[in-house]
Amino acid sequence: MNVLDYGATANGVTDDTTAIQSAINAVPSSGGTVVFPAGTYKISSALVARSNLILQGVSDGSSLISQSSTTAHGLTGSDITRLTIQDLTFQGPGSGSGKGILLTRSANPATVSLAFSRVTVKFFGNTGIELSNPIVSTFTGVTSADNGNHGWDIHGVSGGAAGTSCSFIACYADIIANAGFRLDTMAYCSFVGCAADHCGIGYEVTGVGSQGISFTGCGAESAVNRGTGYDGYSWKINAAIGVGLYNPFTYNSPNVSIWVTGGARAVSILGFAENTPTGTAVNSVKVDSGCSATLGDCSNVKPLSLAGSTNIINDTAGGTVAAGFVYGADSAYYEGTVSSGTAPTATEHLTRKDYIDSKVNPAPVALTDAPTIATNAALGNLFRVTLQGNRTLGAPTNPINGQRVTWELIQDATGNRTLTLNSIFVRGTTIPTVTLTTTAGKRDFLTAIYNSTTSKWYVLDFVKGF
C-alpha cells in the first residue's frame, strides 16, 4: 500500500494523518507493507499500527513522519505481533507530552517479533521509544535523539512477567533528558555496538526482574548531570541480576562511569576503558554495599569504590583481589576482604587457613619459645619448638573443625624442661598426663585434634624419647 495512493501529499504542510491511517487499515490481517516514498508527512494525531505490518520508507533521512501535536504520540499499537519498521523517521514538535513510538499490551502477555531497522525517532517531548513486554525482537541501527524523559524505555511488568530475548545492534540514544536506554524487568537481552551520548544516564538496568543482560562493545560519552536521579552516570545497574559489561567505553563522564547499586548481583565488568572523565567525577566504578561484582583488567582513570563484594582480576598493580574466600588445591582456602588500592594494607590481604588434608604444608613450622608458647593453627599441621625453660602450651589460634596438629617438643642442652597444657587441651584415660623426657636434646611428640562444637583440643597421642 503506497500512502500516496490513499491521498497523502508528503509536502510537510497538508495533514496526512487520515491518508496514512487509511493505507495501514487497508492491509489485510494476513499482513502487508505500507510504503512511504521520500517526503515529509505531517500528522496531527497518533498513527495506529497493526499486527503483521511492515512500514517501509526510502531511508530515515528522506521519509519523515512529522507529528505537529504536542500531546499526541507518533505511532501507537496494542498487543502487536510482527511489526517491522524500516527506513523511516518519526519527528515530534520539540516539546509536550507525546511519545515517538508507544507499543503497549493488554490482552496479550507480550509484544512479539518487532523488527526495527534504520529508524530515527526525535524531538518528542516525552520518551522516544517505549515498548511493553517485547520478546524475540531485533532493533538494528535505530536512533532516539533529542527526546524528553527516556530515549528508550523497554520494560516488562514491574513485579510480574519480564520482556525477553531482545537484541539491540548499533542503536543510539543522543541528547536525552533521563536514560538513553532504560530496561526494567527485562531478561536475556543483548546490546552490541550501541552508544548513549549526552544523557542523564547512558544505560539504566533496573529491577530484580532484569536478569541476563549483556552489553558488548557499547559506549557512553559526555553524560550530563541533570539531577533527580539522572546525575550523569554512564551505566547504572540497580537491583538487577546477571548483568555483563564487556569492553564498555566511557568518555567525559561527570560522575561515576559504572554504578552497581540496589542489591544488584553477579555483575561482570571486563575490559572497561574510562577516558578523560571530567573534573566532577570522583570514581570510575562504584559497587555499593550489598551488591556483588567481578572486575577484569579495567583501564580506569578515577579510583574504584568497592563497598560491595567484588573480585578483581588484574588490579592496577597487576594482581588479583578476591572477596570472601578462595579455594585452592588440596582443600586449601583463603579468607579476607577486598583490597581496593595498589598497596593493600595487612588487613586487606587474604589470610591462609589450615587444611584437614595432611598433605598440606607437611614441613614443620618453627614456633617461638616463650613462657607461653603460641601456635597459629592456620600455618600448618606440624609445629616444632626447642624448650629453653619450663613452658605452657597456649591455646592455638585460628583452628578449624577436625584439624589434627602435632607438636615436636625438643629439650635444649640443659634438659629437664617441663610442659603444662592450657585448659583447652583435654586428655582421656589412655593419656592421663603429659610428662616430657628430661634428657637434653631429646624430643617428644604431642598430637591433638580440634572440635569446634566444644572448642576443645582432644589429645590423641603422646610419644617420647626420640
Q: How far apart are CA 291 and CA 303, in angstroms?
A: 18
Band of the pLDDT at 161, cuts 50, 70, 90? confident
User: What's the pLDDT score for residue 342?
Assistant: 57
Considering the domain architecture, whether residues 136 and 243 belong to the same structural domain is answered as yes
283 inside domain: yes
Considering the domain architecture, whether residues 318 and 390 belong to the same structural domain is answered as no
Considering the domain architecture, whether residues 64 and 130 belong to the same structural domain is answered as yes
User: What's the pLDDT score for residue 327?
Assistant: 55
Band of the pLDDT at 334, cuts 50, 70, 90? low
Considering the domain architecture, whether residues 387 and 436 belong to the same structural domain is answered as yes
Band of the pLDDT at 158, cuts 50, 70, 90? confident
Answer yes or no: is pLDDT of 462 > 90: yes
355 inside domain: no
Band of the pLDDT at 160, cuts 50, 70, 90? confident
Considering the domain architecture, whether residues 294 and 250 belong to the same structural domain is answered as yes
What would the pLDDT profile of 395-412 be if each residue is shown by its tens digit? Answer: 999 999 999 999 999 999
Considering the domain architecture, whether residues 452 and 315 belong to the same structural domain is answered as no
Band of the pLDDT at 180, cuts 50, 70, 90? very high
Contact 80, 107 (CB under 8 A): no
Q: How far apart are CA 102 and CA 75, in angstroms?
A: 6
Considering the domain architecture, whether residues 322 and 381 belong to the same structural domain is answered as no
Q: How far apart are CA 49 and CA 64, in angstroms?
A: 16
- For position 284, which CATH number holds? 2.160.20.10
Instruction: Tell me which of 295, 324, 339 is where a domain ends.
Output: 339
354 inside domain: no
Considering the domain architecture, whether residues 22 and 77 belong to the same structural domain is answered as yes
Q: How far apart are CA 12 and CA 457, in angstroms?
A: 90
User: What's the pLDDT score for residue 304?
Assistant: 92
Considering the domain architecture, whether residues 270 and 153 belong to the same structural domain is answered as yes
Band of the pLDDT at 355, cuts 50, 70, 90? very low
352 inside domain: no
Q: Is 402 exposed, middle or buried (0-12, 13-18, 19+ CB in 10 A)?
A: exposed
Band of the pLDDT at 154, cuts 50, 70, 90? very high
Q: Return the higher-pLDDT residue of 352 and 158.
A: 158
Residues 235, 325, 357: CA angle, nearest 5 degrees: 155
What would the pLDDT profile of 209-238 be if each residue is shown by its tens digit? Answer: 999 999 999 999 999 999 889 999 999 999
Band of the pLDDT at 348, cuts 50, 70, 90? low
Domain assignment of residue 224, given as a range: 3-339
205 inside domain: yes
DSSP annotation of 225 reads B
Considering the domain architecture, whether residues 242 and 135 belong to the same structural domain is answered as yes
Considering the domain architecture, whether residues 332 and 420 belong to the same structural domain is answered as no
How many folded domains does the chain comprise?
2
Considering the domain architecture, whether residues 199 and 307 belong to the same structural domain is answered as yes
434 inside domain: yes
Residue 324 backbone class (left: φ over 0; alpha: ψ -120 to 50; beta: rest):
left
Answer yes or no: is pLDDT of 329 > 90: no
> How far does Cα 178 stand from its chain's mean position?
21
Coil, strand or helix: which one is 170? coil
